A and B are shown apart, each in its own frame.
Chain A
Amino acid sequence: MSELGFQGDELRELQRRLTILKIGLLLVVGLLGLRLWHLQIREGPYYRDLSQSNLTRSVVLEPARGLIYDRHGVLLANNVPSFSLYVTLEDVDDREALIQKLVALIGLDESRLRKKLSERGGKLVQRKVKDRLTLREAALIESHRLDLPGVMIQAESQRNFPTGLTAAHAIGYVGEVSADQLEQAEFAELHQGSIVGQYGVENTYDRFLRGRAGQKLIEADALGHEKRTVSVEKPQAGDDLYLTIDIRLQQLAEELLGEEAGAIVALDPTNGEVLALASRPAFDPNVLSRELTAKQWEEIVQHEGRPLNNRATQGQYPPGSTFKIAMAAAALETRTVERSTQIRCAGGYQFGRRLYRDWKAGGHGLMDVTQALVHSCDVFFYTIGQRMGIDTIASYAKQFGLGSPTGIELPSERVGIVPSTDWKEKVRGEQWLPGETISASIGQGYVTVTPIQMAYLIATVANNGVPIRPHLVRAVMDRVSGRVVELPSVPLSRLTFKPETLAIIRNALAGVVTEGTATRAKSALVAIAGKTGTAQTAAFRSGPEKDIPKKFRDHAWFVSYAPVEAPRIAVVILVEHMGHGGAAAAPLAKQIIEAFVKLTPYEPRVVQSGLNVGQTLAALRAQETHD
């Protein structure tokens, strides 16, 4: 064992070496200390900032979008929680197993799920793999939470339209703000992914409805899971809207149109409040407010009924005989005819080589302006049109609002055409032909109008020459303060007609229903006035109506108001390709007017104008919160 002991000066030599080792080690530890001093003391504040920014991140708190009610407080648009399923790949150990589990659990489409998970993007990104989970699906996921690492359910707010397709065109739908919109000043405060109104009052009143986003500063861990809230700036809910629409009339109007394409507008002629604005076919705003696939979108856009087209404000049709109201006013104002001036109708009007037929073979005989309106005598209007000339006709048509937007709060309102010599030169580069005046005199030829324009026209007549801009929103309610701002109706300047002119016309329109072309609109309940129209769609026609392919058949018009003495409602009906206005359109107006009268008991005008809408709305809201 002795060889194990130290030999000679080995011990001293060893101790010397160990001293070298000790000094070396202390030097190295000194270097480490220096490095740590550098990190913690010299650069400490820098790393402190880095660790702060590491853990705090800001989260946008989306505001609750304002609700939309009808005029009586029936809910038309609200927000419902919707559950979406997210997967964060960073937390997923076995992707294949996760896919199998999700497929087995809630029946996700396997190939789609796989595609979504393999899309580009960081591992930390939350990928939405399914939206609108049912409660059952959400519960299944939650109960298997521990088996599904990296899977998360998030509650989101989804715009919901409880009435579905009803009033879809008026209410509209919402969607993510587009890249183009983000560049506009109006949307400057929004961010990618914000929800904005894309149609209807959702669009035009978006700056009221959208509210203001809040911000939450959170402390998050490396996986982005929220650990602690640092500060919260609450989002501000959007304002609620009270529409002028009466959902009961709206539903009736849509039922009456049924499967037919067309539009119905009902409004209060005294204040311009739109009571119903129907357009068929309609779309489901609940569907359009979701993320659509390109294919779904294509299906909607290419649908032959063009459901996205709001026929009430964007459909441009020849007004047909409803145009004769403007014609009569023009003739009386220009004294082309007097109240008693008679013109003989022999069933046709010869102009040059062409004979312009009256709709009634054999003619109406002697007609004054009242009778001409009541029986919709074409020859009478051919004659006065020819006498007045197109430019005079155009100037009176324009006074009734034709050719310009009514100003209703809906996007992309169309204006139709009020032809004149200038117009034709500008647009067509051609001279006006005298024969074209004859077609225009009965609302054919170049003349086109929208149903809402006709509503404006008939309401102006009903309101004794005072036009009022039609509007859809009655009041805006600040959800935070509860303050209600009523939106006043906008009376425009009274038409400078002789009182007699409108009196004659109104008398004649009453006659249309009692003894003229619209006797099918005659009601036992209330006296209705109106004018039928039949808008030709094809120049060439032959044979009986039922043999003509439907798409070439005439559009049926009826413009009306009631009660005759003190009008409270104006109704415009347009049904595409349904033939005669008197047969296809007038009965619908009657039903709407009768429903209106039943639903809305007559209130003396004074009381109505003194009604405090604010109080009513507040009461309605209070009622809701009790429910």
Chain B
Amino acid sequence: MIDRVADSRQFDSFDWRFVAVVGAILAVGVLSIYSVTYAQPGGGLPLYVKQLIWILIGCAAFVIVLLFDYHQIARIAYTLYVIALALLVVVLIIGKTSRGAQRWIPIGPFAFQPSEFAKLVLILVLASYYARAPREGWIQRVVLPGLIMMPGLLLILKQPDLGSGLSFLAIYAAMLLVVGVRSKALGVILLFSLMLFPFAWEVMWGSLHDYQRQRIMSFVDPDYDPGGKGYHALQSRIAIGSGELLGKGLYGGTQSQLKFLPEGHTDFVFAVFAEEWGFLGILVLLALFVGLVILSLEIASTAKDMLGALLAAGVIAMICFCVVVNIGMTAGMFPIVGIPLPLMSYGGSATVTTMAALGLLLNIKRRRLTLFY
């Protein structure tokens, strides 16, 4: 089943650029995690070492996904989706509860987050659905895929995990945009209203009373800021703002080093980076993410077939959505929902899933000239 192209060790310059951008973002992430956690006492492996291990596993996932033709993978999409749904059910039964949300299946010393895996599977399922679906018909183009997505979405919201739920919607919207539903505007509006959610939310959110916000947030996302006092949001803004142009330097981030900033190694890793490296550092980081997205879009638009294009669009939507919402939330444009920054936040499930998704992208690119059988 392994085709000859994948056997080839010959990376072209595009591949190298792609890998270099991903590697750079991963490196920045590990550095930031190291900076926040190196001084923290605690038994076991330091977090940055654990993250390096996750990245290694992620590399393996990247290579494995690369080895198989994406059509082969798409063929087992529905099977994978059933497995993912089963895992989402399992997590609701035996999952580890942390801060009011049941999201993790404990495996030895680690915890596996099925919702991350489910995101990638959703991309596969929707892409293979659209690749074979009739090109016309509102029900077939919009309603059916929506119904396919629904069980996964509901199970995730049951945990509750607002961040992953919104990611599901973003992937669905991106698919609608790319396949071109009858009313193209629908996809555009759906996707960008999700992207612009931060800005719109700022206005809506700002007009609510504290207790209303608190009620809403504790309902949809019990993770953060249970007091509703905006402590975490403020500390994050202070961390970013006080970085100013040049930043406070590595290990110099007082907000994160002295633990004013919560979750500095996970969801707020961007604030840590912004505090230590300043606006210049952020420009570089944003450039890396933009570079990754442009390369990915190139893959999507040069894909050999609809399936490749759809898969690429789904992966792009998933990553972009997480990046935008995570940065928007740490920069105080958005209420705090638990969405990690792809490739940077500490976390095994998210890191491995994202790297597998990137492997899928490169897979599409490397097979754009081959004939398949």
Q: Which residues on A are within 8 Å of B, measured CB to CB?
A: 1, 3-7, 10, 13-15, 17-22, 24-26, 28-29, 31-33, 35-37, 39-41, 43-48, 50-51, 54-55, 219-223, 227
**Of B50-58, B84-92, B297-305, which stretch is located at the interface?**
B297-305
In whole angstroms, how far apart are the Cα atoms of A50 and B234 in the complex? Answer: 10
Judge whether B306 and A5 touch: CB under 8 Å.
yes
Judge whether B305 and A24 touch: CB under 8 Å.
no
Chain A residues with Cβ below 8 Å from B218 are none
**19 A-B Cβ contacts within 8 A?**
A4-B305, A14-B180, A15-B301, A20-B188, A21-B313, A22-B293, A22-B294, A25-B293, A28-B324, A33-B286, A36-B282, A40-B241, A47-B242, A50-B238, A51-B238, A51-B260, A54-B238, A54-B254, A221-B260
Nearest A-chain residue to B240, judged by Cβ? A39
Does B191 make an interface contact (CB < 8 A)? yes
Chain B residues with Cβ below 8 Å from A219 are 254, 258
Does B224 make an interface contact (CB < 8 A)? no
B100: min CB distance to chain A, Å: 16
**Complex interface bits, B125-151 against A, C-beta within 8 A gives 1, otherwise 0:** 000000110010000000000000000
Judge whether A3 and B279 touch: CB under 8 Å.
no
A13: min CB distance to chain B, Å: 6
Chain B residues with Cβ below 8 Å from A227 are 258
Judge whether A14 and B301 touch: CB under 8 Å.
yes
Q: B286 touches which one: A21, A24, A29, A50 (CB < 8 A)?
A: A29
Chain A residues with Cβ below 8 Å from B372 are 1
Judge whether B324 and A54 touch: CB under 8 Å.
no
B239: min CB distance to chain A, Å: 7
Chain A residues with Cβ below 8 Å from B324 are 28-29, 32
In whole angstroms, how far apart are the Cα atoms of A26 and B297 in the complex? Answer: 12
In whole angstroms, how far apart are the Cα atoms of A29 and B196 in the complex? Answer: 11
Q: A13-B180, A219-B254 are in contact. Are A33 and B242 (CB under 8 A)?
A: no
**Complex interface bits, B306-317 against A, C-beta within 8 A gives 1, otherwise 0:** 110100010010
Chain B residues with Cβ below 8 Å from A54 are 235, 238, 254-255, 258, 260
| Among all A-B residue pairs, the 9 with the closest Cβ atoms | A47-B241, A221-B258, A44-B244, A51-B242, A40-B279, A47-B242, A222-B259, A39-B241, A48-B242
| Of listed B178, B191, B241, B245, residue having the most chain A CB within 10 A | B241
Q: A1-B372, A32-B327, A40-B274 are in contact. Are A21 and B306 (CB under 8 A)?
A: no
Judge whether B132 and A44 touch: CB under 8 Å.
no
B183: min CB distance to chain A, Å: 13
Does B5 make an interface contact (CB < 8 A)? no
Nearest A-chain residue to B371, judged by Cβ? A1
Q: A40 touches which one: B196, B278, B304, B373 (CB < 8 A)?
A: B278
Judge whether A4 and B331 touch: CB under 8 Å.
no
Judge whether B333 and A35 touch: CB under 8 Å.
yes
Nearest A-chain residue to B331, judged by Cβ? A35
Judge whether B244 and A48 touch: CB under 8 Å.
yes
**Complex interface bits, B265-280 against A, C-beta within 8 A gives 1, otherwise 0:** 0000000001000110
Does B14 make an interface contact (CB < 8 A)? no
Which residues 145-201 in B have Cβ within 8 Å of A in the complex? 174, 177-178, 180, 184, 188, 191-192, 195-196, 199
Judge whether A21 and B255 touch: CB under 8 Å.
no
Judge whether A50 and B258 touch: CB under 8 Å.
no
Chain A residues with Cβ below 8 Å from B199 are 31
In whole angstroms, how far apart are the Cα atoms of A43 and B177 in the complex? Answer: 37
In whole angstroms, how far apart are the Cα atoms of A174 and B329 in the complex? Answer: 54
Judge whether B244 and A4 touch: CB under 8 Å.
no
Chain A residues with Cβ below 8 Å from B131 are 3-4
Judge whether A29 and B237 touch: CB under 8 Å.
no
Q: A39-B240, A221-B260 are in contact. Are A51 and B254 (CB under 8 A)?
A: yes
In whole angstroms, how far apart are the Cα atoms of A4 and B258 in the complex? Answer: 55
Does B243 make an interface contact (CB < 8 A)? yes
Which residues 278-299 in B have Cβ within 8 Å of A in the complex? 278-279, 282-283, 286, 289-290, 293-294, 297
**Complex interface bits, B41-75 against A, C-beta within 8 A gives 1, otherwise 0:** 00000000000000000000000000000010000
Q: A36-B279, A222-B260 are in contact. Are A44 and B192 (CB under 8 A)?
A: no
Judge whether A5 and B305 touch: CB under 8 Å.
yes
Chain A residues with Cβ below 8 Å from B257 are 221
Q: Which residues on B are within 8 Å of A, measured CB to CB?
A: 71, 131-132, 135, 174, 177-178, 180, 184, 188, 191-192, 195-196, 199, 235, 237-245, 254-255, 257-260, 274, 278-279, 282-283, 286, 289-290, 293-294, 297, 300-301, 304-307, 309, 313, 316, 320, 324, 327-328, 331-333, 372-373
In whole angstroms, how far apart are the Cα atoms of A15 and B199 in the complex? Answer: 28
In whole angstroms, how far apart are the Cα atoms of A33 and B289 in the complex? Answer: 12
Judge whether B260 and A29 touch: CB under 8 Å.
no
Judge whether B244 and A36 touch: CB under 8 Å.
no
Given contacts A4-B132, A6-B305, 5 further A-B contacts (CB under 8 A): A4-B307, A28-B192, A40-B240, A47-B238, A220-B258
Q: A5-B305, A13-B180, A14-B301 are in contact. Are A36 and B274 (CB under 8 A)?
A: yes
Judge whether B180 and A17 touch: CB under 8 Å.
yes
Nearest A-chain residue to B316, judged by Cβ? A21
In whole angstroms, how far apart are the Cα atoms of A90 and B258 in the complex? Answer: 15
Judge whether A44 and B241 touch: CB under 8 Å.
yes
Q: B239 touches which one: A29, A32, A51, A223 (CB < 8 A)?
A: A51
Q: A17-B177, A31-B199, A55-B254 are in contact. Are A45 and B238 (CB under 8 A)?
A: no
Judge whether A33 and B306 touch: CB under 8 Å.
no
Judge whether A44 and B333 touch: CB under 8 Å.
no
In whole angstroms, how far apart are the Cα atoms of A228 and B180 in the complex? Answer: 60
Judge whether B244 and A45 touch: CB under 8 Å.
yes
In whole angstroms, how far apart are the Cα atoms of A46 and B244 in the complex? Answer: 10
In whole angstroms, how far apart are the Cα atoms of A25 and B195 in the complex? Answer: 8
Nearest A-chain residue to B309, judged by Cβ? A14
Nearest A-chain residue to B74, judged by Cβ? A4
Q: A32-B327, A55-B260 are in contact. Are A41 and B244 (CB under 8 A)?
A: yes
Q: A24 touches which one: B71, B191, B260, B279 (CB < 8 A)?
A: B191
Chain B residues with Cβ below 8 Å from A31 are 199
Nearest A-chain residue to B317, judged by Cβ? A21
Chain A residues with Cβ below 8 Å from B135 are 7
Judge whether B195 and A32 touch: CB under 8 Å.
no
B21: min CB distance to chain A, Å: 15
Q: A24-B191, A28-B195, A55-B254 are in contact. Are A41 and B279 (CB under 8 A)?
A: yes
Q: A14-B301, A21-B297 are in contact. Are A46 and B241 (CB under 8 A)?
A: yes
Chain A residues with Cβ below 8 Å from B192 are 24, 28
Q: A13-B180, A15-B301, A43-B241 are in contact. Are A37 and B279 (CB under 8 A)?
A: yes
Judge whether A40 and B282 touch: CB under 8 Å.
yes
In whole angstroms, how far apart are the Cα atoms of A75 and B192 in the complex? Answer: 81
Q: B241 touches which one: A3, A13, A14, A48 (CB < 8 A)?
A: A48
Nearest A-chain residue to B131, judged by Cβ? A4
In whole angstroms, how far apart are the Cα atoms of A46 and B195 in the complex? Answer: 29
In whole angstroms, how far apart are the Cα atoms of A108 and B282 in the complex? Answer: 53
In whole angstroms, how far apart are the Cα atoms of A18 and B324 in the complex? Answer: 18
Judge whether B255 and A39 touch: CB under 8 Å.
no
Q: A39 touches which one: B237, B286, B290, B301 (CB < 8 A)?
A: B237
Judge whether B255 and A4 touch: CB under 8 Å.
no
B66: min CB distance to chain A, Å: 20
Nearest B-chain residue to A13, judged by Cβ? B180
Chain B residues with Cβ below 8 Å from A220 are 258
Judge whether A222 and B258 touch: CB under 8 Å.
yes
B25: min CB distance to chain A, Å: 14
In whole angstroms, how far apart are the Cα atoms of A13 and B242 in the complex? Answer: 46
B343: min CB distance to chain A, Å: 16
Chain A residues with Cβ below 8 Å from B304 are 5
Judge whether B132 and A36 touch: CB under 8 Å.
no
In whole angstroms, how far apart are the Cα atoms of A29 and B325 in the complex? Answer: 11
Chain B residues with Cβ below 8 Å from A33 are 282-283, 286
